[in-house]
């Protein structure tokens, strides 16, 4: 006897609609609840009903492409896991997903991947983490004009003709970080700002919105010159050490991208664990450990798994049913974590 959504809902203690949304990514469901529902479905051997599968297979087969950059970083590994999960779920619906992972942020490599997926593999839809350059923007526009829908994820290129963006509201996240920083530094003090890649729109927006909001609400704070660590812990370690040597009175550090653990290691090496406040991003195993140890004061999570999972389902809905996303900006939210609510 086949497993039904109702049975899964009863075991999970949620509504049938919540199960449907979690399994098919048709609305906002917390990642914790969604993961529990998917595990129950897997354990019970659930698969979409046979009628739906047969209907999907009578239609033309869909081939989607996804390009994920910086996949050596912990955050983008989670994005990649979400994409792999989506590829697995979509396979039963007659959708083939071709995922290309790039270790760095490189416009030339991304353009080469796009050409390979379009010209050699014949994809009908593309999801990608774009480098914000004119060349990538032009390429996206040409794809859309040729009938290939494009969705950006994790970082955006809003001036392009992409269909929508799936990811964090970076301006909101930066302002949230600024508010936290102002509360932690009522007397003011020096703040070191560390980012990843200046060509990454998310990293840039997190920094500019943070800096502007902090200067507005905490005039006693002094922002040190922003530095880029290219998402590398070893670079972040050296840059933090150098900043501490030149400014031993630093009160806090804002890490707008990856490189969080390098910052934490530099603080521990200087005997400043817990004495210099750190606001950083993303729930990863290492960040969780640094949060528990008190080296990181707050984590702002962006639901990286959803950012990998959701775009492919949106492309599938558009290509199969002509259903466009309801919003141009499909924000995944900003979740505040401390060592007390991990």
* CATH for the stretch 1-47: 1.10.260.40
Kindly report, residue by residue over 24-37, the tens digit of the pLDDT. 765 567 878 888 88
DSSP H/E element including 14: none
Per the confidence metrics, is the pTM higher than 0.85? no
Residue 57 has pLDDT above 80, yes or no: no
C-alpha–C-alpha distance, residues 288 and 211, integer Å: 25
Q: Which residues contact 161 (CB under 8 A, 6 or more apart)?
A: 140, 141, 144, 145, 150
Burial of 96 per CB tally in 10 Å (0-12, 13-18, 19+): middle
Residue 73 has pLDDT above 60, yes or no: yes
Residue 333 has pLDDT above 70, yes or no: yes
Highest mean pLDDT (candidates 40-49, 86-95, 230-239): 230-239
Residue 329 has pLDDT above 50, yes or no: yes
Q: What is the mean pLDDT of residues 70-96?
A: 94
Q: Do domains 1-47 and 170-301 have the same CATH topology?
A: no
Least confident stretch, 25-39, 80-94, 149-163, 322-336: 25-39
Instruction: Give domain limits for the chain.
Output: 1-47, 49-167+304-332, 170-301
User: Which CATH superfamily does the domain covering 170-301 fall into?
Assistant: Response regulator (3.40.50.2300)
Domain spanning 49-167+304-332: CATH 3.40.50.2300: yes
């Amino acid at each position: 006897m086949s497993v039904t959504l109702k049975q899964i809902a009863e075991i999970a203690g949620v509504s049938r609609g919540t199960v449907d949304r979690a399994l098919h990514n048709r609305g906002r469901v917390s990642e914790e609840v969604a993961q529990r529902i998917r595990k129950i479905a897997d354990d019970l051997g659930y698969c979409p009903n046979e009628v739906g599968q047969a209907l999907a297979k009578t239609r033309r087969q869909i081939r989607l492409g996804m390009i994920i950059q910086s996949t050596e970083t912990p955050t983008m590994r989670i994005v990649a896991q979400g994409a792999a999960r989506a590829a697995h779920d979509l396979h039963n619906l007659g959708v083939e997903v071709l995922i290309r992972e790039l270790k760095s942020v490189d416009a030339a490599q991304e353009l080469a991947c796009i050409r390979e997926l379009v010209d050699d593999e014949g994809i009908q839809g593309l999801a990608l983490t774009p480098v914000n350059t004119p060349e990538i923007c032009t390429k996206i526009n040409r794809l859309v004009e040729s009938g290939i829908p494009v969705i950006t994820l994790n970082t955006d290129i809003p001036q392009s003709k992409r269909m929508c963006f799936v990811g964090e509201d970076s301006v909101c996240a930066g302002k949230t970080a600024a508010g936290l920083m102002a509360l932690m530094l009522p007397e003011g003090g020096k703040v070191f700002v560390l980012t990843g890649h200046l060509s990454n729109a998310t990293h840039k927006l997190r920094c500019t919105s943070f800096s502007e909001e902090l200067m507005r609400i905490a005039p006693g704070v002094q922002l040190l010159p922003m530095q880029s660590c290219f998402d590398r812990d070893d670079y972040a370690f050296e840059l933090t050490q150098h900043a501490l040597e030149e400014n031993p009175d630093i009160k806090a550090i804002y890490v707008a991208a990856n490189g969080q653990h390098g910052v934490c290691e530099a603080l521990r090496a200087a005997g400043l664990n817990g004495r210099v406040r750190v606001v950083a991003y993303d729930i990863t195993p290492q960040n969780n450990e640094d949060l528990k140890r008190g080296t990181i004061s707050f984590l702002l999570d962006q639901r990286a798994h959803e950012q990998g999972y959701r775009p492919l389902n949106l492309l599938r809905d558009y290509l199969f049913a002509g259903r466009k996303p309801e919003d141009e900006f499909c924000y995944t939210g900003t979740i505040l974590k401390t060592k007390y609510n991990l």
